[in-house]
Amino acid sequence: MIPEIFQLAGELPARRLGYGTAQLTGPGYWGPRGEARDAVAVLRRAVERGVTLIDTADNYGPSVAEELVAEALYPYPDGLVIATKGGVVRTGPDAWHIEGRPERLRAMCEASLRRLRLDTIDLYQLHRLDPDVPMAEQLGALDELRREGKIRHLGLDSVTPGQLEAARELTNIASVQNRYNLTDRASEPLLKLCEAHGIAFLPWFPLGNGSLTTDRAGTDIAAAHGVSADIAAAHGVSPGQIALAWLLHRSPVLCPTPGTGSLAHLEENLDAAAVRLRAEDMSRLDALS
């Protein structure tokens, strides 16, 4: 039986297949991707389909994605978990600058609260650890915001197992976000650590930034396409749905939040939750590491 729900921090339920908002922004995650009404329609449809975990970030746009979430979904329905991130400053398309000074983290969080029209952010994730600021200072600033009621739970993005262990000695960590998908499993040791401690793992690029949804002959993932296409044909679904179903079967702490600006692609992604992979399917997919 594949669990449908994950309890964040052991007390905040969310459906494991969520929705990520990065694809609502333009090239280089800069500016809007298209018309706001189209993004609003996708967000509303995701919630209509039962999504209860929306993953966004202050620097998607920047600000664009958070504003769209509020425009589409506020007032938020009961049970909807909003996760956002801070700790990175944007200066242009694909330009990312880590910023972990406590005063800047506080300002970022409070700006997200305003854009999202929230009093409390359910899950606030440090987008990157700043190597120039002690971890204790960065997490201490977020812990202070949590004590003030502005954050409910804390998460980390792009960390090593050692960094997660060090962070856990300083505060409670409810989630991590690292790159992880059918063909990229460098974060496997981190996944095992999350399993051991009941920490949600929100894999970014769960569809390989689109590479696992279409056949790209000649790339290093061509073999994966052949295997996933065979399994997809047997189930009457798409290779992208197999990639998402594999994540849901792989570990009960994996909570993928694939993003898209297309209603049709959204429906396809969410239908992956109904795919039931057989033991032999999992063996073949596991072997693609």
Cα(268)–Cα(36) distance, integer angstroms:
22
Element (H, E) at 193: helix 188-197
Token code pair at residue 126:
């440090």
* Active-site residue identified among 29, 60, 124, 180: 60
Look up 60 and say whether it is catalytic.
yes
Task: Kindly report the backbone phi and psi dihedral angles of residue 179, in degrees, each rounded to the nearest multiple of 5, phi listed first.
Answer: -70, 130
Contact in structure between 55 and 15 (CB atoms under 8 Å): no
CA–CA dist 107, 63 (Å, integer):
13
- The enclosing H or E element of 84 equals strand 81-86
Q: Which two tokens stand for residue 136?
A: 């204790």
Cα–Cα distance for residue pair 232/238, rounded to 1 Å: 5
The answer to whether 208 and 184 are in contact (CB under 8 A) is yes
Q: How far apart, in Å, do the first and last CA atoms of the chain sit?
A: 24
Active-site residue list: 60
